[in-house]
Structure formats: structure tokens, C-alpha cells
A and B are shown apart, each in its own frame.
Chain A
């Protein structure tokens, strides 16, 4: 499987409820993640982090001996790996605080297994995309590490904008990414008026990744809304 290397990532789960930990573990296991350690307190979490070096953490905000935000700061100070917050506090304030401190994502309980898995996979793909040997498409492969497309044994380089757009599509592989989100990925905040440029870039990406750019099979247009990247083996 194309994403196998992500399934090997080491997970640290921190929540004060054993039953919730069990459930999250079972959800992750079912999706193929096996390297998971759990902790119920800040102290335990720090101890595990120091000896076991997790590669992604899922943290509760309210822990018996401190807040998840403080825990994240401590974890990130030793080693920079992505953090997903899982909390029962849905207030926006917390949300901004979490992101302000460098959280990678934030989920409010309750959640469905597929919602959690989508977020986890998106974070992992974003954080460790350079480790990915190759992303397999139907007619070509993307090498994000070298920023090039391999089609029929030919290496075609990607421009910076094409790379940004493809990366945003790949993070959400199999899902629609809006025109606005793609413009933002390529041109930054308030990307008004770049819709035509985006269409031009999409056309050029298709020429690189598709066998027949007029009938795309990997980079699909969803009329009026956005684009979807179909990745093989997903």
C-alpha cells in the first residue's frame, strides 16, 4: 500500500479516560496503525515522549495534572512532531489557543472514527510527505521530495506553484479541495482573483500527470467547487 510508511508512525495518545483511550486505539488499529502508546497524565506522557520518541500525538485538553496546551508546549520543546487535540471543549477560544501554540489540528468530541482517521492521515501526509518514496497515480507518480513527476520513465519537474497545488490536493487525496483553498495554498491569504491562474496551473499539472489531459482520471474537476486528486491504493 502506498501509505504503508505512514502506518508505521509512533502514536502517543493522552486522555484521562481509559475507555476513550481504548476506543481510539481500536479505531487506529483498524486503520492499520500499530505503534501506539497511551498515557493518562501529563507526567506519563512526558515520560513516554522522552523514551519512545512519538511521531504524532493526540492530546486531550483537560488532564488531571495540567492542561493539554501546556503538555503540547513541553512535548514540542523536545522534539517537533504534529499534535492533534481531541477535546470536549468546543469553545472557539480554546481552538485559537490550540492553534496559536502550534497545534496541527483540533477535534471536538464526539467524533466518528472516519473523521478522526481522516484528520490523522491528513496530518501525517502533510508532516511526513518528504519521506514518501512516491505517490502513485493512475498514469504517473509524484515525487514530492524532488518536486517532480515520473511518467513513462520520464522525469518532469514541477514549478513551485504546481508543487503547492499538488501538495494541497494530496493532503486531501480522494476529497474535493475548493478553488479558494487551492488559491490560498498557492498564493497565500486573500487570494482573490486568481481563479483563472489556478485553471492554467491545473491544466499544466494535468499535462504532466495525465495520459490524456482532456480526459483527466487523476485530477478531477468538480464543477464550480474545486478539484479532487485520485491516488492509487487509497
Chain B
């Protein structure tokens, strides 16, 4: 849910940036326009120029050529009012008839501020009087009243900044108000999508600005849930099927095993026949192991095997397995040596005892199965650095580096969807790996220092002993 605040931050950032940019742009435009308007002062300037260029001679007054031309171009007329007489003593030829020829002081004040008969007028001070220029009607709009409080102008920079801040805040509030609805409707959608990614069932309210998106998310969730259910159903069906088959094989195999076992030990039978019975017993045992493994492997693979971890003493569990093998072993071809330090009596691991039994039994059985001619099996437990390591090794035929690499790293055919004709090794090691992984441990397959095969199971120790 970190993305919503991030989204808001981004929105606000863009908004602030755009308002500031807009204000700066406006200032620039205003400045450019004001500068371009600056020549507007020209009527006053022209009036000054005319006043400067109005020369007194013996015939009265005359205007220089340049000034006359400028007046002509701007279609303006001019008069010169004498200071003493307040009479017009000079005028241009284009003076409209309605313009009075004598002025009072109040007339002067009025024409300075405004107009004479609608003609905007501008004044220029000459030596003995006042030059008045009259521009065509409606050519200028004169405003001569503005005046400001002194403090206002003095505090102008502060005032501008304050206004700017108020404006920004105002824009922000307007923005928040306008977008809060959007943000509110985005929030459930974001959480919905996040829930979808964790495979949860999602149902969000299909209301608000983004209701259409909400509908689609709900639909997607429904589809995902349906697919999950179907997948689960398929996996359950497959695991059940395997359980069913293994169950149905057990009873007939009991009969094969039971009678073969009797024949194997029947002293009345010739040695040859007893040997044959022994082979049947051996193969039946293989089938029995396969059935057990197949069932457990499929259950572990589809997470259908309940794991009930308890604080267990790994030394006791493994010791019991070794003793069970020794107690059951009829031939002396596969002696098991208990190689554990006698001072190590307890190694506590949070484990499902039955599953650990299966894993370690599988390893010992593996050594027996792969060494028909016989081998010595070494079982050892060490406890170091909060790790409990169970090692099952033998001095048998072992295997190649290549095969070890493959056992350690390639997926088993049961859990691999590629063509797998090449890697048909038994289920024994797969189960070992699955069980160890379910306990948070590591399985290491390698060469044994005794010359054969070796498997290390490394489990995390629950807590310090004693």
C-alpha cells in the first residue's frame, strides 16, 4: 500500500510545479507587454518636443519642420497658450473649430487631466506658456486619477509573495477536493490488485469513478479462484488416485510376500527353490517400498501430507532406525556402523518423527539396494553451529560426479514436466529431499570418504540443549 501516498505526492508535485510555472509565465508576458507599451508615453514626449521646438521670432511663433511632420503623421493638432494672457497665441492649421481660444486655470487643469471637446490632450511646458497637443478623438484613453497609499507600494514585494502563497494554497485545496474522489476510488483498486498478486480472493465495491476497473478486478479474482480450485481438485484427484492404487496393491502383495516368506524359510524345500522364494521376497519388498514412497511423494508434492513437527531428539530417532535395520537384517552383507560421538546424546530438532524416519530409512535402504554385493553403511550425527547433520554413507559402488550433480540439481521426473525418459532414478531420494525441505533443511548428495555414496541431511537445531 505504499503506492497510494506515492501517487498523491506525485500529483501534488506536478500541480505545484505547473502553478509556479504558470505564474512565472504570466509575469514574463506582462513584462513583455508593458515594455512594448512603454512608447505609449509618447504623446507626452511629443508635447515636450513640440514645446522645445516652438521658436519665437519676429512674426510670432513657428514650429520646426521635424516636429510639424510628426504632428501631421499622428494626425494631431497643437496650440500654444501664453502664460500671461491665457490666450492661444499659436496654433496648427488643422485645429478643429470647436477648440476654444482662451483658457482659465481650471480649464488648464481639466485639459491636463483629460480632454478638450473629446480630443485627448497632452501638455508640454515651453518658455512662456504651455503647448497643448490634441489627438484624434478615441485615440487615447486617459486616466489621471490613480494614486496609492505609500505603504502599499512600500510593502509591494511582501504583498505579492503573500498573494502568491494564498493562491498556491487555494489551488492545492481545490485540487485536493477535486481529486479526493479519484484517490478514494483508486485505493481499493490498488489493494485489490495487490491481493490478486498474492492469490487471495478479492471483492471490491463496484462504485465510484473507477467502478469499471473494480468490476474487472473482481472478475479476474473469480477466474483465478476458480482455476485454483480446479487445479487443487486435479491435484487431489491425482494424489487420491495414487493412494487408491497403492492401497489396492497392498493386499495382493501381502499374499505374494507372505507365502514367499514362508517358502524362503521352509527347511523341507530344496535350496534352489528357497533361493527363488528369496528373490520373490526381495522383489516384493522393493515393490512395497515403491508403493510407500509413491504415496508419500505425491502427497508431499501436492502439500497433502500433514506435517506435525514436535521437538524431537534426532539422535534417538536415527538410533532407532539403525537398530530397526540391524534387528531386521537377515544377511550380513550390509552391516551398519553407528559412528556418532558417544557424548552426543541429544540433538533437538523441530521435526515430524515419522517423516524423518522415512527419510533416513530411505537412505539406508538406498545403500542396500544399490550394493547387491554388500557394503558397509556408516550412520553419523553431528551437532555444530545450530545445525544437526545426519550423514548416511557407504563404502559401496558409489556413483559418478555427473550423476551426483544431476541428483543434486535436476528435478525428479515426478515433479518435472519435460520429457524424462533419461532420469528414472527411484523415488527414495526425492522423498528425502521433500521431507528435508519441509523441515527447513538441506540435502547434500556426494561421494563418501569411505569410497561410496554419501547423503548429508542438515537440519536447523530448535534450541540449545540442556
Contacts and interface: CB of A to CB of B under 8 A. Distances in A.
Interface stretch (B53-61, B180-188, B246-254, B387-395): B246-254
Interface stretch (A51-59, A108-116, A141-149, A200-208): A108-116
Nearest to A184: B316
A179 B345 CA distance: 9
B466 A88 contact: no
B292 interface: yes
Interface stretch (B63-71, B112-120, B255-263, B411-419): B255-263
Interface in A178-214: 178-181, 190, 192-193, 195
B338 interface: yes
B253 A109 contact: yes
Interface stretch (B77-85, B95-103, B319-327, B368-376): B319-327
B343 to A, nearest CB: 9
Interface of B: 243, 246-248, 250-251, 253-259, 261-262, 265, 281, 284-285, 288, 292, 295, 306, 313, 315-316, 319-320, 322-323, 326-328, 338, 340, 342, 345-346, 354, 465-466
A30 B268 CA distance: 13
A226 interface: yes
A26 interface: yes
A111 B315 contact: no
A113 B262 contact: yes
Given A90-B292, A225-B338, A226-B319, A23 B247 contact: no
9 contacts: A20-B254, A90-B292, A91-B243, A111-B258, A112-B285, A113-B265, A175-B327, A190-B313, A224-B342
A89 interface: yes
A27 B288 CA distance: 19
The 8 closest A-B pairs by CB, nearest first: A180-B316, A88-B250, A110-B254, A110-B253, A109-B250, A224-B338, A109-B254, A113-B261
A4 interface: no
Contacts of A90: 246-247, 250, 292, 295
Contact of A224 (B257, B258, B340): B340
Nearest to A26: B262
Nearest to A108: B250
Contact of B466 (A20, A193, A224): A193
Nearest to A183: B316
A176 B329 CA distance: 12
Contacts of A172: 327
Nearest to B337: A224
A204 B339 CA distance: 27
Interface of A: 17, 19-20, 23-24, 26-27, 30, 88-93, 108-116, 172, 175-181, 190, 192-193, 195, 222-226
Contacts of B251: 17, 20, 88, 109-110
A93 B295 CA distance: 14
B319 A110 contact: no
A163 B243 CA distance: 43
Given A23-B259, A110-B254, A224-B319, 17 more contacts: A23-B258, A90-B292, A109-B254, A110-B256, A110-B288, A111-B258, A112-B258, A112-B281, A113-B258, A113-B265, A175-B327, A176-B326, A180-B319, A192-B345, A193-B346, A195-B345, A223-B338
Nearest to B311: A190
Contacts of A26: 262
A225 B319 contact: yes
B247 A178 contact: no
Contact of B261 (A89, A112, A195): A112
B195 to A, nearest CB: 33
A114 B264 CA distance: 11
Q: Majority SS of interface residues in chain A?
A: mixed
Nearest to A175: B327
Contacts of A114: 261, 265
Contacts of A226: 319, 323
A177 B316 CA distance: 11
A110 B342 contact: no
A180 B251 CA distance: 34
B247 A89 contact: yes
Given A176-B323, A178-B316, A110 B257 contact: yes
B313 A192 contact: yes
Contacts of B259: 23
Contact of B323 (A30, A115, A225): A225
Contacts of A92: 306, 354
A180 B247 contact: no
Given A17-B251, A20-B251, A177 B258 contact: no
Contacts of B320: 178, 180-181
A77 B172 CA distance: 83
A198 to B, nearest CB: 10
Contacts of B292: 90, 108
